[in-house]
């Protein structure tokens, strides 16, 4: 009995002293477990300036590949529960975009959209992928649109999930904060992170408090890095003049309750892209692929099938 009490006391003391470090461990362990369950493997890919950390899965011999691009301040793990629906059919490539996740940050490294898109082309080159279906959320959607407009020979289709890149007719909660000189992404405390987290999704999946506190600590530690990335990203050329250059089949998905980029942006994208299918999701916020991964994946797969973007080989593999 005494040994049990002593062990319990040691565990409690270790948990208190290491808090929220235990949250890092739980988060990384759970992401690695999910990736393994979904048959996704961590592969580090060298490109000209850096090495890019990726999740990759699906049949290597598949004739169609999907590139999934996360948003600002996020990482490749956000796509895991969405990607599981595609690894049986497609070769799936999910990178940590430069400055994020395991790919890492370099001061003055350049984080504007044209340069980030160029890095994705280099990534595809090293992976031996000639043409790809690209899907991106938020900043990743901005990159996906830029790729479709400027590298049309490399992009089979583009799917945009609550993308940045155009000026919304109506201001979002984020834009109102920025107008007052406050960037909610630049976190100084756990309380600030909780408020920011509530802005990102209308229906967030359950996450243990210790994990959220660990993520909050990561945001605090990376605050200066995120500020530089944000500055470069926001100074990128706007997409409006380039939208007519997107000629491939395109899908736009938006959460009606998005507080980071207002849903009124849909009208701008719709006017600019000729071949565009639009889906507005009720009760969903900024990250539909996280809030409703199965439903969002079903929409995307139906888009690919309806546009006959799957090859006969891919259809047989489903």
List of domains in the chain = 2-317 (3.40.50.1820)
Query: What whole-number distance in Å separates Cα of residue 298 and Cα of residue 310?
Result: 14
Question: 209-236 burial, b for 16+ CB within 10 Å, e for fewer?
Answer: ebbbbbbbbbbbebeebbebbbebbeeb
pLDDT at 90: 96
Cβ distance 92 to 55 under 8 Å? yes
Q: Residue 253: which of 275, 285, 211 has the closest Cα?
A: 285
Relative to beta strand 51-57, strand 40-46 is antiparallel
Mean per-residue pLDDT, 7-17: 42
Q: Torsions phi, psi of 146, nearest 5? A: -60, -40
Question: How far is 300 from 222, CA to CA, in rounded Å?
Answer: 33
pLDDT digit string, tens, across residues 20-63: 778 778 889 999 999 999 999 999 999 998 999 999 999 988 88
The whole-number pLDDT of residue 63 equals 82
Note whether 204 and 290 are within 8 A (CB): yes
Using the predicted structure, report yes or no on whether residue 271 has a pLDDT greater than 60: yes
- The mean of the pLDDT values for the chain is 91
Q: What is the pLDDT of residue 314?
A: 46
pTM for this prediction: 0.91
> What's the pLDDT at 26?
87
Output 308 or 281, whichever has higher pLDDT.
Answer: 281
pLDDT at 76: 98
pLDDT at 9: 42
């Amino acid at each position: 009995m005494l040994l049990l009490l002593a062990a319990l006391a040691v565990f409690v003391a270790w948990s208190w002293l290491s808090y929220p470090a235990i949250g890092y461990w739980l988060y990384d362990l759970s992401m690695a477990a999910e990736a393994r369950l979904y048959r996704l493997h961590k592969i580090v890919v060298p490109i000209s300036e850096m090495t890019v950390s990726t999740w990759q899965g699906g049949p290597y011999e598949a004739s169609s590949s999907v590139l999934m691009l996360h948003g600002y301040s996020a990482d490749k793990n956000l796509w895991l529960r969405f990607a599981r629906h595609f690894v049986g059919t497609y070769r799936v490539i999910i990178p940590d975009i430069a400055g994020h996740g395991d790919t890492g940050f370099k001061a003055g490294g350049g984080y504007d959209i044209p340069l980030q898109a160029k890095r994705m082309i280099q990534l595809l080159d090293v992976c031996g992928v000639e043409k790809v279906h690209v899907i991106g959320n938020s900043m990743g959607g901005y990159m996906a649109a830029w790729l479709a407009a400027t590298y049309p020979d490399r992009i089979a289709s583009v799917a945009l999930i609550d993308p940045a890149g155009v000026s919304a007719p109506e201001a979002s909660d984020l834009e109102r904060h920025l107008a007052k000189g406050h960037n909610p992404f630049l976190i100084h405390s756990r309380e600030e992170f909780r408020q920011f987290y509530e802005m990102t999704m209308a229906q967030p999946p359950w996450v243990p408090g210790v994990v959220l506190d660990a993520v909050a600590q990561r945001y605090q530690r990376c605050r200066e890095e995120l500020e530089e990335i944000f500055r470069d990203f926001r100074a990128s050329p706007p997409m409006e003049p380039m939208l007519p250059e997107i000629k491939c089949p395109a899908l736009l998905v938006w959460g009606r309750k998005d507080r980071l980029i207002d849903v009124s942006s849909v009208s701008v994208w719709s006017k600019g892209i000729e071949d565009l299918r639009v889906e507005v999701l009720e009760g969903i916020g900024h990250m539909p692929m996280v809030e409703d991964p199965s439903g969002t994946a079903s929409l995307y797969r139906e888009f690919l099938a309806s546009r006959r973007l799957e090859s006969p080989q891919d259809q047989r593999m489903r």
